[in-house]
Amino acid sequence: MPTTDVFKKDLLIGKIAFVTGGGSGICKGMTEALLRHGAKAFIIGRSQDRLDKAAEELKTKTGGQIAGTAADVRDPEQVEKAVGKAIELFGKIDILVNGAAGNFLASFENLSYRAFRTVIEIDLLGTFNVTKACFPHLKKSRGCVINVSATHHYSDSISKPMLIFLLSFDQIRSRSLAVELGPLGIRVNVIAPGPIADTEGMHRLLPAADTERLIQGSPLQTLGKIQDIEYATVFLTSDAARNISGHILVVDGASWLRQPDLLPYPECVLEPKKFVGNKLNVKL
């Protein structure tokens, strides 16, 4: 069921969205949902070819107005230039979606200094850089921010995969911003997707053999779909959520309430050199 069958098609008319990571995966779906409901969108990512392809596809599917430029969220100068281009084209920014992310499942033994630093730079510093660059425009529009997070750190086990602690920082930072920016009329919320079928993140973070175990561990006995995140996006960016800020919206069929631990690690994590060429392998 398309989002337009649930929400009014013109719900976001006049809104301008700035989406990081909007050229692929979940964030591409979020961008599509915003376009379908009347918003215009500016997307950024590291590959101009991917952005151009995504923009053309989304323009054809939705009839909406969309543009994008290559920028690395780790580089404040590139981010500032991208925001400047968005303002030059659309005049304002009402919605910011921080979706650019770098993550993978890795044991401490196989995690290099460089890999650990890269994830921090993309997930933590990148979100700060983009929010900082967009802030003057969000202040003018009394806009809203959605930070895309995840749910791994809700596991009951003390033993958790490396890098998961970043998600907690992401959500704490979002709540702090909701408090500080609230008086300026800026809402800040988090969407925390559970495992989403047919995404690169799913391929990289979860071996296919564990998929059934994950489904059985979900109270709703299903995997999420990008469409589920689209629904959450339209709701949180609409006037229906005008008094909702500082909220973490977990979209995972209640799996976080009884989420099975990701340990023991699959073999591809413990011995990654054996899995060169496999989607699960990450150059550390």
**pTM beyond 0.75, yes or no:** yes
**CA–CA gap between residue 212 and residue 266 (Å, rounded):** 15
What is the reported pLDDT for 163?
43
The pLDDT, as a whole number, for residue 183 is 97
For the chain, what are the domain ranges?
3-275
Sheet holding 66-70, edge to edge: 66-70, 40-45, 16-20, 95-98, 144-148, 187-193, 248-251
- Rounded to whole angstroms, the Cα distance separating 36 from 9 reads 7
Predicted pLDDT at 207: 59
Per-residue pLDDT of the chain (284 residues; tens, 9 = 90+): 667 778 999 999 999 999 999 999 899 999 999 999 999 999 999 999 999 999 999 999 999 999 999 999 999 999 999 999 999 999 999 999 999 877 666 677 777 888 888 888 888 899 999 999 999 999 999 999 999 987 655 554 433 444 444 555 566 678 889 999 999 999 999 998 877 767 666 666 565 556 666 777 777 777 778 899 999 999 999 999 999 999 999 998 777 677 555 555 656 666 666 545 444 343 33
Q: Is 10 exposed, middle or buried (0-12, 13-18, 19+ CB in 10 A)?
A: exposed
Domain 3-275 part of CATH 1.10.580.10? no
DSSP state of 121: I
159 and 263 in contact (C-beta within 8 Å)? yes
Question: What pLDDT does residue 284 have?
Answer: 33
- HEC string of 204-242 equals HHCCHHHHHHHHHCCCCCCCECHHHHHHHHHHHHCHHHC
pLDDT attached to residue 59: 97
Say what the pLDDT of residue 169 is.
Answer: 55
239-244 contact pairs (CB < 8 A, 24+): 241/144, 241/187, 241/189, 242/187, 244/187, 244/189
